[in-house]
């Protein structure tokens, strides 16, 4: 990469960092320090739907770091939507248990957004909406899942990690695996190749 085409991931997400690193990309990761809670409150007062909220949050993160520099800054966000209602990450294990009970036996959507900004301006975006159907698992399975998985599931808005035991929660998934993990990787790589930031 040239000096003017550095890649920055505006995220503290461990899984997003791992996906980019495993794909062989050179990048730095920086927390955007965006006040997401207040941003979400404002968006919901404006009655933005979950997909719009995810897109706006991704854009805000990218633009915040890209102001004043020529780097390619990637912002990402993901919001879980159940019957049109937006859900944020669970704060503790009891909340995670109630979240999974609410999702059990139902279909939900992971509204996943990615945006790239340079010098404070949006230059590319992509939105994905994978649909996941949870099976009607037993209370005993749920308790066992929570005990084995532990607090690491709190990093996921759905309180599951498909790369681990979370795969046993589902009976059907429609959508891109990487988007479910929070980063539409294939579409991102295709865009970066156009700008000689990923291998062609």
Sequence-ordered list of residues with C-beta below 8 angstroms from that of 162, at least 6 positions apart, any chain: 170, 173, 177, 180, 181
Structure tokens that stand for 3 in this block: 């000096």
- pLDDT tens sequence across 95-112: 999 999 999 999 999 999
Largest CA distance in the chain: 55
Quickly list DSSP for 89-139.
--SSHHHHHHHHHHHTTSEEEEEEEEEEEETTEEEEEEEE--EEEE----H
Catalytic residue selected from 77, 88, 127, 139:
77
- Top-level CATH class of 3-194? alpha beta
Give the confidence band of 200 by pLDDT, cuts at 50, 70, 90.
low
Helices 50-66 and 36-45: crossing angle in degrees, nearest 10, is 140
**CA-to-CA distance for 125 and 133, rounded, in angstroms?**
26
Q: For this structure, is 77 an active site residue?
A: yes
Nearest-Å Rg of the Cα atoms of the chain is: 17
Chain length of the chain: 200
Can you state the percent helix, strand and coil of the chain, rounding each to 5? Answer: 45, 25, 30
**Contact in structure between 125 and 98 (CB atoms under 8 Å):** no
Tokens of 200: 């062609």
Q: What is the pLDDT of residues 114-169, one digit of tens each?
A: 999 999 999 999 999 999 999 999 999 999 999 999 999 999 999 998 888 999 99
68 pLDDT band (50/70/90 cuts)?
confident
Residues 6+ apart with CB under 8 A from 60: 32, 34, 39, 75
β-pair type (28-29, 7-9): parallel
């Amino acid at each position: 990469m040239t000096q003017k085409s550095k890649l920055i991931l505006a995220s503290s997400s461990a899984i997003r960092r791992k996906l980019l690193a495993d794909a062989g990309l050179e990048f730095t990761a920086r927390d955007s320090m965006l006040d997401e809670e207040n941003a979400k409150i404002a968006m919901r007062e404006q009655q933005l739907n979950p997909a719009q909220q995810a897109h706006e949050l991704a854009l805000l993160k990218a633009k915040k770091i890209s102001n004043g520099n020529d780097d390619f800054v990637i912002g990402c966000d993901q919001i879980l939507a159940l019957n049109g209602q937006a859900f944020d990450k669970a704060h503790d294990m009891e909340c995670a248990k109630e979240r999974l009970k609410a999702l059990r036996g139902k279909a939900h959507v992971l509204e996943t957004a990615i945006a790239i900004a340079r010098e404070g301006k949006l230059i590319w975006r992509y939105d994905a909406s994978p649909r996941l159907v949870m099976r009607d698992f037993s209370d005993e399975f749920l308790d066992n899942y929570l005990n084995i998985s532990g607090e690491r599931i709190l990093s996921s808005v759905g309180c599951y990690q498909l790369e681990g035991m979370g795969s046993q929660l589902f009976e059907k998934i429609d959508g891109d695996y990487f988007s479910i993990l929070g980063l539409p990787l294939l579409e991102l790589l295709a865009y970066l190749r156009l700008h000689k930031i990923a291998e062609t």
